[in-house]
Every structure is written in C-alpha cells, then in structure tokens.
Amino acid sequence: MKKILSVFTLASLLLLSNASFAQSPVDIRINEVQVSNTNGIEDEHGDKCGWIELFNTAFGMVDVAGFYITDDKANPTKYMIPKGNPATQIPLRRYFVLYADGNPAAGVFHMNFTLDGVRDLYLYSTDGKTLLDEIHIPADIAENRSYGRVVDGRGAHEPLNWSKQSYRKSHEDSLIPEDGGFGVLDHPTPGQTNATKAVETKSEKMKQQDPYGGILAMIAMSVVFLCLIILYLCFRSIGKRAIKKQQAEKAAKQAPKAAAVSANPSNVDEEIVAAIAIACHLYQNGQSVDSGIHDVESNVLTFNQDLLRNSPWGARNLTLKQDPRN
C-alpha cells in the first residue's frame, strides 16, 4: 500500500511539475526575424533596423521580462529583455517586437547586438539556462524579406528540451509544412500574423466540406453515443459489482440468524414473540372495550384539547408556542 501511495505521489508531482509550465515561458516562440530592413518598420526615432518578433502561443498572458536572446550558445545571457515594463506582458496569441540595432541606449526594447551576419538565434528562459526556442536564418535572404514561421508559433528547427515541448511539437507537426514550418516571408509583418492570406474559419471550412450537415451529424452522434455507451458499460459493471456486494452483505447478515434459528428453533425474533404474546392476551381476555383490555384507562386524569368551546382569545394554547424546540 505504501509503495502504491509513494508511486502515486511521485507521479502526481511529475505531472504537477509539467503542468506548472502551462502558459509560461514554454509558450513563447521566435516567430519572425528580419535581418536587413531598409523600407519596413521604423523604431521610435524613425530609424530602420533588423528586428525579432516573439509570439505567445498560449491562451493566457505570458511575461517575457528577464528572458534572454542570444546569437551565441556559449553566451546565453547576451541580451536580457528588460524587466519592469508592462509591455513585456504578451497577451494571448499576440506578438512582441525587439529592435536589433545594437544600441540599447536608443530605447527600452533595443537589443545590444545587430543581426548582421547572424545565422542562429536562441531564446532562453529567465534562468539563462533553459533553451526555449531557436531559429536558424539562411544566409541568402534578400533585403527587406523576413524569415520565420509560416504559421504563427508552429514548427521547430530542433526538438526542444522539455517533454511538454516534444509533445507539442509532435502534436503540431501534423499541421505544419514538412520543412519544419519555417520559410522566407515575402511580406515582413512585425507585430502581426505571418499568415498574410485570408484564413478560413472552421465554420467556412465546414460549409465547404459538409454543405448538408450529414458528416457532422454522423460524427457528432457517434461521439455522443460513444460517450454514453462507455458510461453505460462502466456503470453496468459497477452496478453488477454493487449488486454482488449487496447480496454478499445480506447473506452475511442473515447467515448467523439462520444458523441460530436452525440450531434452536425456539430462538425467534423478540418482536415476533411480543406480538404473539399480545395477540394471545387480547384473545384470552376478550377484545371489546368493556372487557377492560384496551389502551383507554379509567380514573386517569388527562388533558383534552377542546378548541370549540373557547374563543381563540381565551385559548392559551393558541397564543403560546406549542413546542419551544420547533
């Protein structure tokens, strides 16, 4: 029992440790990068420079303050995203842009290195050790083009180091192109989605795939039945066990009584004996009121409620609470 308990506790702790990353650093991706920018986004001073876009894949806010970005794996803490600025709190499914102009004095989110000649970029968590994401930029990207994920947040160059990430990668792989989901983007989109083509909603897709509703009806009814059939099977077996248990308990209760009765037939239930005795007594001494064997006693003073003769004003029993406990 102790072994089972300790295994259970350990498993719970493992699960909890994994779950604690929900909507956390693990959800941040390097979504898009532009190395050479001559006619695109401008910083607050009107200057054009390279930039890095992060994307929050979670459905909750994630704060990237204290995260590290580097182009050198040997120096993972090369640039730290400043703390204390509310802009680092990336809302769900939103973007965050950092200017890679090598001039941190130019503003809060200006990095201390440029992207000229950079081929690899790494994103580290606040501990400076946990690698969250990486991107490998091809050398031959034309000017004013960007490189990044074709579908926001999806795909990975390398398997990431947390079990949850590897699950996510495998889960998402079915949704991304075979090349890992990265590509040269014709239209740089800092702070916006990389998907420049109109995206169909689920409802629109469904209208094309299933214009009469037959497929959805069939799938949905199958799922409803599946759910309730599993519940049925589950509770049929639980019910059978419960019936067996009830029968066993009943049998266990009745066994000593039956044994006692069979050992000594005169050892019957006391209530039955009492009932037989009263019946015999009544029978032998007569059954009418006149015979005196009944529950109305003579010469005994009793209180008899008689409301008809008194007005409610005079009837004290109506003005007082009958039973203080009620």
Q: What is the contact surface with another protein in residues (CB under 8 A)? A: 201-204, 206-207, 210-214, 216-217, 219-221, 223-232, 234-236, 238-239, 242-243, 245-246
Give the residue with the Cβ less far from another protein, 11 or 274.
Answer: 11
The DSSP letter of residue 47 is -
Give the residue with the Cβ less far from another protein, 228 or 255.
Answer: 228
Give the residue with the Cβ less far from another protein, 230 or 279.
Answer: 230
Strand partners, 184: 147
How many angstroms separate the CA atoms of 214 and 229, rounded? 22
Q: What is the CA radius of gyration of the chain?
A: 41
Give the residue with the Cβ less far from another protein, 206 or 293.
Answer: 206
Give the residue with the Cβ less far from another protein, 232 or 283.
Answer: 232
Give the residue with the Cβ less far from another protein, 242 or 268.
Answer: 242
Long-range contacts of 310-319 (CB under 8 A, 24+ apart): none
How many angstroms separate the CA atoms of 235 and 111, rounded? 61
Q: State the minimum distance, in angstroms, from the CB of residue 164 to another protein.
A: 17
Q: Is 3 helix (H, G, I), strand (E, B) or coil?
A: helix
Q: State the minimum distance, in angstroms, from the CB of residue 237 to another protein.
A: 9
DSSP assignment string, 177-202: -TT-SEEEESS--TTS-S--SPPPPH
Q: State the minimum distance, in angstroms, from the CB of residue 61 to another protein.
A: 18
Q: State the minimum distance, in angstroms, from the CB of residue 221 to another protein.
A: 6
Q: State the minimum distance, in angstroms, from the CB of residue 198 to another protein.
A: 16
Specify the DSSP element, H or E, that contains 271.
Answer: helix 270-284
Q: State the minimum distance, in angstroms, from the CB of residue 220 to another protein.
A: 4
Give the residue with the Cβ less far from another protein, 201 or 287.
Answer: 201
Specify the DSSP element, H or E, that contains 296.
Answer: none
Q: State the minimum distance, in angstroms, from the CB of residue 295 to another protein.
A: 36
The DSSP letter of residue 87 is G
DSSP assignment string, 148-185: EESSTT---SS--SSHHHHHHHHHHHTTS-TT-SEEEE
Which residue in this structure is represented by tokens 């072994």? Answer: 3
